[in-house]
Structure 1
Amino acid sequence: MKKDERAIRHDPFEIEQREWKQRQTKERLKQLLTIASPIFLLLLWEFLSRTGAIDIRFFPPPSAIIGTFFGMISSGEMASHIGVSLYRIFAGFLLGVIPGVIIGLLMGLYSPIRHFMSPIVMALMPIPTLALMPIIIILLGIGDLSKVVTIAGSVFFPVVINTVAGVINIDSIYLDVAKNYGASKWDFFWKIALPGALPVMLEGIQMGQAIALLTIVAAEMMGATSGIGYLIWTSYKAFLLQEMYVGLILISFFGYLFSLLLRGIQKKLLPWR
């Protein structure tokens, strides 16, 4: 029996199974901790509000905020704000990411384009897009287009910079092999530059989605008649803090959701990472 037990303990299949179970347990623990932290924060907030440790005029309990949220949903007010903001975020995000990736790949691959574009990118990047909002509103009005362009401008620069860095950091051996085998410019672009730059590029896109959420709130505060940012600003001015917190929590939720979606896409595209 002891020999059989030792054989089982040293069986490669059994060892692999134990390691797989340990990895699964660790993954479940990580997922549990990820869910537990926001729940803990909300419970602590609720407790402090109910016990009077914090002023409920400025920090209403989460249960009251949730009640306000469902009241706004039932009235139809919330759906319009969410729909408008999501449209602006997605449109601006795509309008910033697609040109950012293409220009970043061209700048990384071709030195003349990089030298031509770098001064323009470096000169415009430090200027906050929101600082240009008055000019954008003058040119495009206070409709959706001005918000979309503002978000696109904010997203464009981190995507360009990260894409260029990703292409430049591709191991030269891949570029030499492609040249030696007579790869066309099309193959060079899609089969060498894009996959090679993808890890760093996706980090830039991840940063871009966070910037898009920051920008939409500020843009809708400055010149809009709808959207989550508009809801936050008008609720603050009217001292309707429960409605204001609803808007803030919605932005936080969408930021977390978009981050998870992009991380999922990254795992699919880059399973080795």
Structure 2
Amino acid sequence: MSGAGSLRQGAPRGVKPRFAVRRLLHRLVKGGTRSAAVVALLLLWETAPRLGLADRTFLPPFSEVVVAWWQLAESGQLADHTLASLGRSLSGFGIAVAVAVPLGLLIGWYRRVADLLGPLLEVFRNTAALALLPVFVLLLGIGETSKVSIVVYACTWPVVLNTISAVRSVDPTLLRLARSMDLPPLRLFQKVILPASVPAVFTGVRLAGAVSVLVLVAAEMIGAKAGLGYLINASQYNFAIPQMYAGIVTVSAIGVLFNHLLVVLERRLSSWRVPSDG
């Protein structure tokens, strides 16, 4: 009996290390697969100018861009421009989410509000934010207000439209079940509509996160004295091409990191959902 007991106690000790190794290998393979395309792109970027497949003047090797990025980081310029852009982008993004989510919930839940504001939404959702940039500059000047405002405008529509769609696509069976329990409208909204809308709302929020960076960079190319958009534009104007690409790479990295943070936040807020595969 003691030998059988020791076998039962010893089996998990041998299984756990093997399981940990398999899990680690699985993660390494998965990470390698996901990064393979990025690595291939960087290798192509490095070799194409060196082999004469691209003009090195206009497309320097990636290693030269890394050197230029490091020089900008050491001088403090990259941090100054990045902080300026992040301040504007996060301010506009935060304001847009704070306004757009309640507005989308209101329009999606109340049909009369949707009928009233629907035509206005159609007009503005089909008007590109950058097309209105001159209007924002004329009305608000070339300072911080116009740049934050254009980000707010651009980020509002993805969040509003996805929130409206989320509310309207809630499972009717859930609504009928909740109403059969005589839940008051406020509790129905709180217990059924909001939880069921989280994934679609976050889809709009993630889209808005990407838009907040892209639109801001374009806005900073006009009348700005700091920011990644200004850095890219000034580097191109002064023919500092490696520095220009360093700014572009920084913008891409910020966009990827921002999206990752939003994905993590979405998983936290929707952790109660049961996966569809069981």
Same fold? TM cut 0.5: yes
Match of 2:242 in 1: 242
Structure 2 CA distance for partners of 1:125 and 1:61, relative to 1, 3 Å = same
For 1:100 and 1:253, locate their aligned partners in 2 and report how far apart those are by CA, in whole Å: 26
Q: State the one-letter code of the partner of 1:75.
A: S
How far did 1:183 drift?
Answer: 2.8
| Counterpart Cα distance in 1 of 2:91 and 2:189 | 25
Matched residue pairs, number? 262
Look up the SS of the partner of 2:101 in the other structure. Answer: helix
Q: Which residue of 2 aligns with 1:255?
A: 255
CA–CA distance in structure 2, aligned partners of residues 158 and 19 of structure 1: 42
Partner Cα separation in structure 1 for residue 144 and residue 204 of structure 2 = 25
1:51-105 deviation digits (Å, cap 9, x = unpaired): 3332210111111111111111222211110001011111111111221111111
- Residue 177 (structure 1) aligned with residue 177 (structure 2): yes
Match of 2:113 in 1: 113
Mapped partners of 1:216, 1:119: distance in 2: 27
What residue is the counterpart of 1:77 in the other structure?
77
Residue ranges of structure 1 left out of the alignment (5+ in a row) = 1-16
User: How is 1:17-36 mapped onto 2 (pairs within 5 angstroms)?
Assistant: 25-36=25-36
Matches within 5 A, 1:88-237: 88-237=88-237
1:250-269 Cα shifts (integer Å, max 9, x gaps): 11111111121122222222
Cα distance in 1, alignment partners of residues 121 and 25 from structure 2: 46
Looking at structure 2, the residues matched to 18 and 100 of structure 1 have their Cα atoms a distance apart, in angstroms, of: 49
Normalising by structure 1, what TM-score?
0.87
| Cα deviation code 1:162-192 (max 9, x no counterpart) | 1111111101222223333343443233322
Identity %: 34
For residues 204 and 188 of structure 1, what CA distance do their matches in structure 2 show? 23
Report the secondary structure of 1:222's partner residue.
Answer: coil
Secondary structure, in 3 states, of the residue corresponding to 1:87? helix
Q: Deviations over 1:128-169 (max 9, x none)?
A: 111111221222221222111101111111111111111111
Distance 1:187 1:80, change over 3 A: same
Give the Cα–Cα distance (whole angstroms) in 1 for the partners of residues 267 and 28 of structure 2. Answer: 18
**Segments ≥4 residues shifted beyond 4 Å:** 17-27
Alpha-carbon distance between aligned partners in 2 of 1:268 and 1:20, rounded to the nearest angstrom:
24
- Output the CA distance in 1 between the equivalents of 2:53 and 2:134: 42
Aligned counterparts of 2:75 and 2:155: Cα–Cα separation in 1: 34
- Structure 2 regions of 5+ residues with no counterpart? 1-16
Aligned residue for 1:59, secondary structure, equals coil
Match of 1:3 in 2: none
Q: Secondary structure at the match of 2:84?
A: helix
Counterpart code for 2:215: T
State the TM-score, normalizing by the size of structure 2.
0.85
**RMSD across aligned positions (CA):** 2.6
Cα deviation, residue 19, structure 1: 9.6
The alpha carbon displacement at 1:26 in A equals 4.3
Partners of 1:65 and 1:152 lie apart in 2 by 32
Q: Quote the offset at 1:22 in angstroms.
A: 6.7
- In structure 2, C-alpha distance between the alignment counterparts of 1:48 and 1:171, rounded to whole Å: 52
Task: Give the CA deviation at 1:232.
Answer: 0.8
**What is the alpha-carbon distance in structure 2 between the residues aligned to residue 108 and residue 198 of structure 1?**
14
Counterpart residue number, 2:14: none
